[in-house]
Amino acid sequence: MTSRAKKYDVVIIGSGLGGLVCGAVLSKEGRSVCIIEKNEQLGGCLQTFRRDSITFDTGVHYIGGLEKGKSLWKIFNYLGIMGRLETVKMNEGGFDVVAFKGDADEYPYGMGYENFQRILLQKFPDEKNAIEKYCTDIQQICASVPLYNLSAEEQSDDTWAFTTGVKNYLEQLTPNKKLQNILAGTNLLYAGIADKTPLYVHALVVNSYIESAHRIKNGGDQIAKLLARVVKENGGEILRKQEVKKINTTNGIAESVELSNGRKIYGALFISGIHPAKTLELTDSDALRPAYRNRIAGLENSVSTFVLYAVLKPGTFPYLNRNYYYFNQDDVWQTATHTNESWPNMYALFEEVPEKNNQYTEGISIMTYMRFDEVAKWKNTFHTTLYENMRDEAYQQFKREKAEKLLDVVAIKFPNIRECVQSYYTSTPLSYRDYMGTDDGSMYGIVKDYNEPMKSMISVKTKVPNLLLTGQSINLHGVLGVTECALLTCMSILGKEYLLNKIHEANA
Ligand SMILES: Cc1cc2nc3c(=O)[nH]c(=O)nc-3n(C[C@H](O)[C@H](O)[C@H](O)COP(=O)(O)OP(=O)(O)OC[C@H]3O[C@@H](n4cnc5c(N)ncnc54)[C@H](O)[C@@H]3O)c2cc1C
- Which atom of ligand 1 sits closest to the CA of residue 44? 49
Q: Which pLDDT band, with edges at 50, 70 and 90, does 1 fall under?
A: low
Same domain, 418 and 462: no
Domain identity same for 223 and 264: yes
430 Cα: distance to centroid of ligand 1 (angstroms) = 14
Q: Tens digit of pLDDT for each residue in 218-240?
A: 899 999 999 999 999 999 999 99
CATH number for 277: 3.50.50.60
Last residue of a domain, one of 443, 465, 497: 443
**160 alpha carbon to ligand 1 midpoint, in Å?**
29
DSSP string over 273-320? -S-HHHHHHT---TTS-HHHHHHHHHSPBPPEEEEEEEEEPTTSSB--
Q: Identify whether residues 308 and 294 lie together within a single domain.
A: no
CA–centroid distance, 472 to ligand 1, in Å, is 7
Lowest mean pLDDT among 22-36, 137-151, 347-361, 481-495: 347-361
**Count of beta carbons in the 10 Å neighbourhood of residue 256:** 21
In a domain, 98, yes or no: no
User: What's the pLDDT score for residue 390?
Assistant: 79
Contact 62, 213 (CB under 8 A): yes
Q: pLDDT by residue (tens digit) across 425-462?
A: 999 999 999 999 999 999 999 999 999 999 989 999 99
Pairing between β-strand 7-13 and β-strand 264-272 as defined by DSSP bridges = parallel
Distance 87 CA to ligand 1 centre (A): 20
Cβ distance 13 to 33 under 8 Å? no
Average pLDDT over residues 33-38: 98
pLDDT of residue 374: 97
Q: Is 94 left (phi over 0), alpha (psi -120 to 50) or beta?
A: left
Q: Whose CA is nearest to atom 34 of ligand 1?
A: 14
Instruction: Measure 273 CA to ligand 1 centroid, in angstroms.
Output: 9
User: Of 394, 409, 443, which closes a domain?
Assistant: 443
Identity at 70, one-letter amino acid code: K
361 shares its domain with 382:
yes
Does residue 356 register a pLDDT over 90?
no
Beta bridge partners of residue 238, listed in sequence order: 35
Is residue 91 one of the residues assigned to a domain? no
Q: Are residues 408 and 484 in the same domain?
A: no
Q: Which residue has a Cα nearest atom 1 of ligand 1? A: 59
**What is the structure's pLDDT at 75?**
98
> Structure pTM?
0.97
Q: In this structure, are 366 and 288 located in the same domain?
A: no
What value does the mean pLDDT take over residues 474-501? 97
Distance 477 CA to ligand 1 centre (A): 9
Which residues in 50-74 are b (16+ Cβ under 10 Å) and which e? eeeebbbbbbbbbbbbbbeebbbbb
- Ligand 1 pocket residues where CB is under 6 Å: 13-19, 36-39, 44-46, 59-63, 243-244, 273-274, 305, 367, 432, 436-437, 443-444, 471-472, 477-479, 482
pLDDT of residue 157: 76
Which of 165, 181, 211 finishes a domain?
Answer: 211
Q: What is the domain count for the chain?
A: 3
pLDDT of residue 335: 78
User: Using 50, 70 and 90 to split pLDDT, how confident is the model at 337?
Assistant: confident
Atom of ligand 1 nearest to the CA of 18: 25
Percentage of the residues of the chain whose pLDDT score is greater than 70: 99
pLDDT band (50, 70, 90) for residue 364:
very high
Across the range 195-212, mean pLDDT stands at: 97
Distances (CA, A) of 449 to 135, 299, 352: 23, 10, 33
Task: Please report the pLDDT score of residue 2 as a whole number.
Answer: 59
Q: How far apart are alpha carbons 181 and 196 in whole angstroms?
A: 16
Substitution site in 186, 257, 274 for ligand 1 pocket (most atoms within 8 Å of beta carbon): 274
| Residue 256 structural domain | 7-86+218-299+448-506
Q: Is residue 96 part of a domain?
A: no
Are residue 206 and residue 228 in the same domain, yes or no? no
Please, is 472 exposed, middle or buried when counting C-beta atoms within 10 Å of its C-beta (0-12, 13-18, 19+)?
buried
Ligand 1 mean position, distance from CA 21 (Å):
13
In a domain, 1, yes or no: no
Of all protein residues, the one whose alpha carbon is nearest to atom 38 of ligand 1 is 437
Give the nearest ligand 1 atom to 304 CA: 53
Across the range 147-161, mean pLDDT stands at 89
CB 215 within 8 A of CB 87: yes
Ligand 1 atom closest to the CA of 243, numbered from 1: 42
Between 282-286, 351-355, 466-470, the lowest mean confidence (pLDDT) is in 351-355
> What residue owns the CA closest to ligand 1's atom 53?
443
The pLDDT assigned to 358 comes to 82
- Which atom of ligand 1 approaches the CA of 62 most closely? 8
- For a ligand 1 pocket test, name from 17, 21, 45 the mutation site with the most ligand atoms within 8 angstroms of its C-beta: 45
Confidence check: pLDDT of 341 > 80? yes
Residues 207 and 174 in one domain: yes
Ligand 1 atom with the smallest distance to the CA of 282 is: 41
For residue 460, the model assigns a pLDDT of 98
pLDDT band of 4, cuts 50, 70, 90: low
Task: For residue 78, give the DSSP letter.
Answer: H
Residues 102-124: what's their mean pLDDT?
98
Alpha-carbon distance of 244 to 375, in angstroms, equals 26
Identify whether residues 463 and 383 lie together within a single domain: no
Nearest CA to ligand 1 atom 45: 14
What are phi and psi for residue 9, nearest 5 degrees? -65, -45
Same domain, 311 and 261: no
State the closest ligand 1 atom to the C-alpha of 20, by its place in the atom list counted from 1. 25
Residue 357 has what pLDDT?
Answer: 73
pLDDT at residue number 3: 57
One domain, residues 34 and 48: yes
Three-state secondary-structure class, residue 350 = strand
Distance CA 41, CA 263 (A): 21
What average pLDDT is seen over the chain?
A: 95
Is 470 inside a domain boundary?
yes
| Residue 102 covered by a domain | no
Tallying the residues shown for the chain, one arrives at 508
Decide if 423 is inside a domain: yes
What is the 32 CA–ligand 1 centroid distance (Å)?
A: 24
Specify the DSSP element, H or E, that contains 206: helix 199-211
Do 144 and 187 lie in one domain? The reply is: yes
132 lies in a domain? yes
